[in-house]
Amino acid sequence: MLDHLRGAIERGRYAIGDKLPSEAELCRTLEVSRPVLREALRALQTMGLTVSRTGKGTFVVANTVEDPTFGDYAASDLLEVRRHIEIPVAGYAALRRTPENLDHLAHLLDRMERETDTSAWVAMDTLFHLAVAESAQNPVFRRVIEEIRDALARQSAFLNELGGRREQSNREHRAIVEALADGCEHDAVAAMSHHLDRVETTLTDIVRPQRTDTPTEGGPEA
């Protein structure tokens, strides 16, 4: 569904300035439910390809994906800050975490690994990163993560909807918690670095997918 609409925009079927067909028309043409369509439309807007104007519809504003935005922040800006903050924070957390910090992280991680609802998982994902920052015992670190919390949630939802990141992210979070429990600064830094590397890779794959063939105009894509 998303690939179909994105491909139609990138190939010029819907040009910059064009209004997309109504939701009812798209649902009928593409044979999808309204919730599925709305997810795809939200993703197109996050990618910067469309904009929704209340009472008027959805309009194409770009034909290539450059840099998705999550809330107030571009993906590239968000990732740059996360690398400079969260990687050293993980190192500090390995050295300074308390038993209470570890209990909280372990409990949160257990809940995340059992959770099947994406929205609930995304909410806990942001709590996880806040908890790591709290474990560094510096309130400024927590304040920084709190400031970007909404953007983190939007990015997490985007990656899970379009990149299937949840199980992989759970494994990466588990590695971070194990490094904190071991009190190993090096391993904690490496685990957080790997986590953010995978976030960047998934974002890149979504923004600039490798196309092995030329899609046709006929029929909706799943």
pLDDT in tens, 104-114: 999 999 999 99
Does 106 lie in the same domain as 198?
yes
Boundary (domain end) residue, out of 16, 37, 60? 60
In a domain, 153, yes or no: yes
On whether both 104 and 201 belong to a single domain, the answer is yes
Of the candidates 23, 210, 193, the one whose C-alpha atom is nearest the C-alpha of residue 91 is 193
In a domain, 221, yes or no: no
Across the chain, what does the average pLDDT equal? 90
Tell me the pLDDT band of 161, cut-offs 50, 70 and 90.
Answer: confident
- Domain assignment of residue 193, yes or no: yes
Task: Please write down the HEC assignment for all residues of the chain.
Answer: CHHHHHHHHHCCCCCCCCECCCHHHHHHHHCCCHHHHHHHHHHHHHCCCEEEECCCEEEECCCCCCCCEECCEEHHHHHHHHHHHHHHHHHHHHHHCCHHHHHHHHHHHHHHHHCCCHHHHHHHHHHHHHHHHHHCCCHHHHHHHHHCHHHHHHHHHHHHHHHCCHHHHHHHHHHHHHHHHHCCHHHHHHHHHHHHHHHHHHHHHHHCCCCCCCCCCCCCCC
Residue 189 covered by a domain: yes
Q: What CATH number should be reported for the domain holding residue 37?
A: 1.10.10.10
Based on the domain organization, do 56 and 73 belong to the same domain?
no
100 shares its domain with 44: no
In a domain, 177, yes or no: yes
Range of the domain at 85: 69-207
Q: CB–CB of 202/159 below 8 Å?
A: yes
In a domain, residue 186? The reply is yes
Instruction: Name the most confidently modeled range: 44-53, 105-114, 152-161.
Output: 105-114
**What's the pLDDT at 210?**
55
Indicate if 114 and 47 belong to the same structural domain: no
Same domain, 87 and 28: no
Q: Are residues 90 and 190 in the same domain?
A: yes
In a domain, 172, yes or no: yes
Does residue 85 share a domain with residue 166?
yes
> What is the tally of structural domains in the chain?
2
Interval 178-220: pLDDT, tens: 999 999 999 999 999 999 999 999 998 888 765 544 444 444 4
Give the type of residue at 89.
V
